[in-house]
Amino acid sequence: MQGVGFRPFVYALALRLGLSGHVGNDADGVFIEVEGPPARVAGFLAMLETEPPPLARVERVRSAAIAVTGGAGFAIVPSPAGGPRNTLVPADSATCADCLAEMRDPGDRRFRYPFINCTNCGPRFTIVRDVPYDRPATTMAGFPMCPACAAEYADPADRRFHAQPVCCPACGPTLRLLPTPGVLDAGGDPLTKDALARAAGLLRAGRVLAVKGLGGYHLAVDAGSEQAAAALRARKHREDKPFAIMVADANAARQLCEVDEMAESLLVSGQRPIVLLPRLRSAPVADAVAPGRQELGIMLAYTPLHQLLLAEAGRPIVLTSGNVSDEPIAYEDADAMSRLAGIADGFLVHDRPIHMRTDDSVVRVFRGREMVLRRSRGYVPSPLPAGPFTRPVLGCGAELKNTFCLGKGSHAFVSHHIGDLENYETLKSFTSGIEHFQRLFDVTPAVVAHDLHPEYLSTKYALELPDVELVGVQHHHAHIASCLADNSFDGPVIGVAFDGTGYGLDGTLWGGEFLLADLASFTRAGYLEPVPLPGGAAAIRQPWRMAAAYLGDDAADLDGIADLDVVRRNAARWDAVVALGRSGLNSPLTSSAGRLFDAVAAILGVRDEIRYEGQAAIELEQLADPAVTDSYPCGVSDGAELRVLGRELVHAAVQDMRSAIPASVISARFHNAVADMIAATCRELRSRTGRDVVALSGGVFQNVLLLTRTVALLEAAGFRVLTHSRIPPNDAGISLGQAVVAAAMGRDG
C-alpha cells in the first residue's frame, strides 16, 4: 500500500542495521534488495514483519538470495511507470499522537492547525479521486506545498516523507465559520479568525452547528442540553433513532459509559468507530440524544478539527450525520449548505473537498471481540482476505444498508455504507461508488452477483449490465456465506440466517432459515412456520399487525384473545387486518424471525408502530431481565424440512401475560426460547448430517442477548459456532456473501 510510510521504514531499518541496497514499489507490492552480514539480513527480514509502521499491513514476505553487488548506501527508488496497478488505497486514520503533540505545541509551525497530518495519520480514502495515490489525484491537488512542507515530504527521515495530504497553515486548507443570517452577527465574512472559538460558543449556547468532517457534514449540539438535542431532532425529522456522541478522549467516554479494556482499544483505534457502550445512570446526557436506550454510541475525536472543537467546547457533543431524515449524508459544500440551511445555526467548514461520502462506522464488543455493525469510515477500503476470485466479481448487495463488494485475486473490497437504496441520491451514490472502486482497484467485473428479489434496485442494476455473467444468490445463503468469509471458513456448516426479510427460492419472504450450506450451494433444511405479512410493508412498520398475524381473531387454544391489550389498542382495525392476512391479498407469507420478535413486542405493549428499522426488537431486548434463565417450549414439526412453530412461543407469552408475569420476565423467556429452538434444531440437523459447525448470520443476531444465549447453548452442545466480527451480520454483509458464493460456484463449475 502506498502512503503508509513503509518505504521510509525500510530505509530507516536498513540504515540502522548498516545494510546497503534499495527499496521501491511495483505492481506486486514492495521490493527490497539488501546486502550485508547474514545475521543482520536475517534480523532485517524478521523486523519487516514485527515492526511495520502503524498504517502498513504486511500480508506476507517472500525472500530469495541474489548475487552480491558490493553497493554502498541505501536508497528509495522510484516506482516503475505503467504496468498493472496493484497498490491499495489506505483507509482514513485518526490523528496520531505525534501530530496531536505538535498541534498542542505553541512553538510548532502547525500549532492549532486543524488539518495537521503525517504518514501515520490523516485523510486517505475520502480524499482520493484516482490512482496512483499521489497528491494530484487527491482533493489536496489545489493546495501546492510550501517549501517547508515540500522539504518534509521529500526527506526519507521525516515523519511526513511522501505523506500525500501534508500541509500547514501556510499552504493547506483553511477553516471558516459561515454565519446563518439572524443567528450570528458576521464580524467579517467569512469568519476565519476565531472560527473554532465562535463555533464552540454556538454549541455552548445550545445552537445546532454543521461541521464539515472527513466523510461528510455532521450536525453537532451540546450532548447535555435537552433543548438543543430536541431542536436537532425536530429539525432533522428524526424521531427516535439514537444520536452518536463525540468525546475528546477515553476518560471523557468513561464519564458517560462503562468502558472495558476491549472497548477502550476500539475507541482509541485509528479507525475511531462509534462504539456502542452501556450507558451510566449518572451520564450527563440529554434524554433526547438516545431516547429509551440503555446504550450510547460513543466515538473519540478523530480529526484535528474535532480535537480542537471538543477542546474549545469543553463537553461531549452530539455528532450525527448531516442530512434530513433518511437521506444520505451531505458531503458537497453547496449541497450541504442548501440541505442543512434550515437545520444548522452555523457552518464550520473548510476548503478541502471530500471526494467520497463516508459515514462513521459502528461497532460493539461481543465476547471480547470486535463486532462491526456498520463498516465505513476508517475501515473502508481495506480489503478482506477472501476468494480466490479466479475472475473479478462484483456483488451488488441488498436493498437496505446496502454495500457492494469487488472481489479480485485473494481480496474482497467491501464498500463503505451506501444506505437504503430507495431514493435517487442513494442510488447515484451506489452506481458512482462502484465506478470509483473499479477504477481504484483496477477491477472490471466478469461476474456480477445479485439478490433474487426482482424489486431491489441493486438487482435491477445488475440485470442491466452488459457483457457480464450474472449469478443470482439467495439472500440467506449470502448471509451465511458472508459469515463464512468473515471467519475464513469454507464450510460445510449448518447456517442459521435470521433477519427481517429476504426473497426465498419459492417466491415467499424468508427470514427464519436453517440452511445446510457451503460457499457454493445450500439446501433449506428448516424454517420458522410461515405466517402472513398483512399489508406487506405496512406490517413491517406496524408490529401490531404481526401480533394479528400470529394470533388471528379467536385463537381457540387461548380461549379467545379479546382480553389482550394489543387487540384492544388496535380494535378498530384488528379484524380487518386478520382478514387481510387470511385473504393473502398484499399479504405474502413470511418465515421472518424479525417479524416474530415484532409480534411479541407488540403483544407485550413495547410498541405498535416503529420509527426506524428494528426498533421494536431492540426495545424488546432491552426490556428483558438477563437474570431470567427459564424458557418456553417450542415445537418442531417433523419432516424432510423442519418447521419451527413460532406460534407456540407467542401463545406462551400470552399465557404468561394473563398470569401477570412481568414483561421483563416474558421478554427474557422469549429470548431464551428462541435460543433453545435454534440449538434444538441444530442438534436435529447434526444428527441427520453429522455437521457440527454452526454459522449465525442475519440482522436478528445484532440482538446481543439472543446471540449470547444461542452461542452458549450451541457451544455447550459441542458445536463450533461462527459469528460475525469484521463484517456486519445485517444486510451490509450481503454483498460480500454474494461475491464469495459466485466465486465458489465458478471454482466448482
Spell out a b/e string for 484-510, using b for 16 or more CB atoms within 10 Å of the CB, else e.
Answer: bbbbebebbbbbbbbbbbbbbeeebbb
- Per-residue string for binding with Fe ion, 450-489, x by CB under 5 A? ----------------------------------------
Count of residues that interact with Fe ion, criterion CB under 5 A: 3
Q: From Fe ion, Zn ion, none, which one binds at residue 256 (CB under 5 to 8 Å depending on kind)?
A: none
Contact partner at residue 146 from Zn ion, Fe ion, none, CB < 5 to 8 Å by partner kind: Zn ion
Smallest distance from Fe ion to CB 401, Å = 9
In terms of CB distance, is 121 or 677 closer to Zn ion? 121
Closest contact distance (angstroms) between CB of 161 and Zn ion is 12
Cell of 567: 387487540
Give the nearest distance from C-beta 153 to Zn ion in angstroms.
Answer: 9
**Paired residues of 349 in beta bridges:** 176
| Backbone dihedral angles phi then psi of residue 437, each to the nearest 5 degrees | -65, -40
Do 307 and 317 meet the contact criterion of CB atoms below 8 Å apart? no
Judged by beta carbon, residue 305 or residue 696, the one nearer Fe ion is 696
Q: Please identify, using beta-carbon distances, which residue of 648 and 731 lies nearer to Fe ion.
A: 731
* CA angle at 621 for the pair 615 and 624, rounded to the nearest 5°: 145
- Beta strand 469-472 with 493-503 is unpaired
121 vs 494, beta carbon nearer Zn ion: 121
- Per partner kind, with CB cut-offs from 5 to 8 A, the member of Zn ion, Fe ion, none near residue 230 is none
Least distance between Fe ion and beta carbon 417 (Å) = 15
Mark 125-162 as b/e (b = at least 16 C-beta within 10 Å).
bbbbbebebbbebbbbeebebeeebeebbeebebbbbb
Note whether 113 and 56 are within 8 A (CB): no
168 contacts which partner out of Zn ion, Fe ion, none, CB within 5 to 8 A by kind? Answer: Zn ion
225's grid cell? 442540553
* Number of other residues whose CB lies within 10 A of the CB of residue 637: 11
State how far the Cα of 586 lies from the Cα of 286, in Å rounded to an integer: 42
> Residue 313 CB, nearest distance to Fe ion (Å)?
39
Instruction: Provide the 8-state DSSP code for 625.
Output: -
Which CB sits closer to Fe ion, 499 or 518?
499
Which residue lies nearer to Zn ion by CB, 154 or 170?
A: 170
Helix, strand, coil percentages, rounded to 5, for the chain: 35, 20, 45
Which of Fe ion, Zn ion, none does 499 bind, CB closer than 5 to 8 A by kind? Answer: Fe ion
Q: Point out which residues pair with 179 in neighbouring strands.
A: 346
41 binds, among Fe ion, Zn ion, none (CB under 5 to 8 A by kind): none
- Residue whose entry in the numeric block shows the C-alpha cell 456483488: 395
User: Least Å distance between CB 707 and Fe ion?
Assistant: 15
Pairing relationship of beta strands 720-722 and 693-697 according to DSSP bridges? parallel
If contact means CB under 5 to 8 A according to the sort of partner, which of Fe ion, Zn ion, none does residue 360 touch? none
Measured from the CB atom, the residue of 290 and 700 that comes closer to Fe ion is 700
> Any bridge partners for residue 23, and if so which?
32, 76
Q: Residue 444 contacts by C-beta under 8 Å, 6 or more apart in sequence? A: 392, 438
731 touches which of Fe ion, Zn ion, none (CB within 5 to 8 A by kind)?
A: Fe ion
CA distance 514 to 540: 22
Torsional class of 325: left (φ above 0), alpha (ψ -120 to 50), beta (otherwise): left
Element (H, E) at 664: helix 663-689
Dist. CA 615–CA 619, nearest whole Å = 6
Among 173, 731, 740, 744, binds Fe ion (CB under 5 A): 731
Q: How far is CA 637 from CA 302, 528, 533, 714, in A?
A: 53, 10, 22, 21
> Do residues 338 and 329 make contact, with C-beta atoms less than 8 angstroms apart?
no
Residue 121 touches which member of Zn ion, Fe ion, none, C-beta under 5-8 Å by kind: Zn ion
Closest approach of Cβ 593 to Zn ion, in Å? 45
Site residues for Fe ion, window 562-621 (CB under 5 A)?
none
Of 87 and 501, nearer to Fe ion (C-beta) is: 501
721 binds, among Fe ion, Zn ion, none (CB under 5 to 8 A by kind): none
Q: Which three cell numbers stand for residue 96?
A: 496520531
Instruction: Give the shortest CB-311-to-Zn ion separation in angstroms.
Output: 17
Nearest approach in angstroms of CB 611 to Zn ion is 41
> What residue ranges bind Zn ion (CB under 5 A)?
96, 99, 118, 120-121, 146, 149, 168, 170-171
- Nearest distance from C-beta of residue 101 to Zn ion, angstroms: 9
* Closer Cβ to Zn ion, 6 or 366, answer by number: 6
**Contact by Cβ (8 Å): 737, 482:** yes
Bridge partners of residue 186, in order along the sequence:
none
Min dist. Cβ of residue 100 to Zn ion (A): 8
The packing angle between helices 195-204 and 304-313, to 10°, is: 50
Of these partners, Fe ion, Zn ion, none, which one is at the site of residue 402 (CB under 5 to 8 Å by kind)? none
Q: Which is nearer to Zn ion, 120 or 482 (CB)?
A: 120
- What grid cell was written down for 362? 459502528
Closest distance to Fe ion from the beta carbon of 699 (Å): 6
Nearer Cβ to Fe ion, position 499 or 619?
499
With CB cut-offs between 5 and 8 Å by kind, which of Fe ion, Zn ion, none does residue 343 bind? none
Q: Minimum distance from CB of 147 to Zn ion (Å)?
A: 8
Q: Least distance from C-beta 93 to Zn ion, angstroms?
A: 8
- Answer whether 61's CB lies under 8 Å from 42's CB: no
Q: How far is the CB of 463 from Zn ion (least distance, A)?
A: 46
Q: Which partner, Zn ion, Fe ion, none, binds residue 589 by CB below 5 to 8 Å per kind?
A: none
Residue pair 480/741 in contact by the 8 Å Cβ criterion: no
What whole-number distance in Å separates Cα of residue 15 and Cα of residue 76? 12
Which position among 359, 499, 518, 598 is part of the footprint of Fe ion (CB under 5 A)? 499
CB of 5 to Zn ion, least distance (A): 10
- Give the shortest CB-104-to-Zn ion separation in angstroms: 13
Please, which residue, 96 or 685, has the CB nearer to Zn ion? 96
| Alpha-carbon distances, residue 307 vs 181, 312, 349, 350 (angstroms) | 27, 9, 15, 15
> Is residue 399 part of the contact set for Fe ion (CB under 5 A)?
no
* Closer residue to Fe ion (CB): 7 or 476: 476
Alpha carbons within 13 angstroms on the beta-carbon side of residue 420 total 8
- Which part of the chain contacts Fe ion (CB under 5 A), choosing from 38-46, 452-460, 491-499, 668-676? 491-499
Task: Name which of 55 and 540 has its Cβ closer to Fe ion.
Answer: 540
244 binds, among Zn ion, Fe ion, none (CB under 5 to 8 A by kind): none
149 binds, among Zn ion, Fe ion, none (CB under 5 to 8 A by kind): Zn ion
| Contacting range for Fe ion; rule: CB under 5 A; set: 281-289, 597-605, 619-627, 730-738 | 730-738
**Partner whose footprint covers residue 219, from Fe ion, Zn ion, none (CB < 5 to 8 Å by kind):** none
Find the residue with minimal CB distance to Fe ion. 499
Closer CB to Zn ion, 140 or 566, in the complex? 140
Nearest residue (CB) to Fe ion, 387 versus 511: 511
Please state the φ and ψ torsions of residue 297, each to the nearest 5 degrees: -95, 115
Beta strands in 455-492 (DSSP E): 469-472
Nearest of 739, 735, 684 to residue 714 by alpha carbon: 684
Stretch of residues binding Fe ion (CB under 5 A), selected from 108-116, 515-523, 668-676, 731-739: 731-739
- The residue (of 109 and 235) whose beta carbon lies closer to Zn ion is 109
With CB cut-offs between 5 and 8 Å by kind, which of Zn ion, Fe ion, none does residue 96 bind?
Zn ion
Q: How far is CA 530 from CA 310, 442, 549, 589, 592, in A?
A: 51, 45, 10, 6, 8
Looking at the DSSP bridge assignments, the partners of residue 512 are 498
Residue 45 is given by DSSP the state H
Please report, as ranges, the residues that interact with Fe ion according to CB under 5 A.
Answer: 499, 502, 731
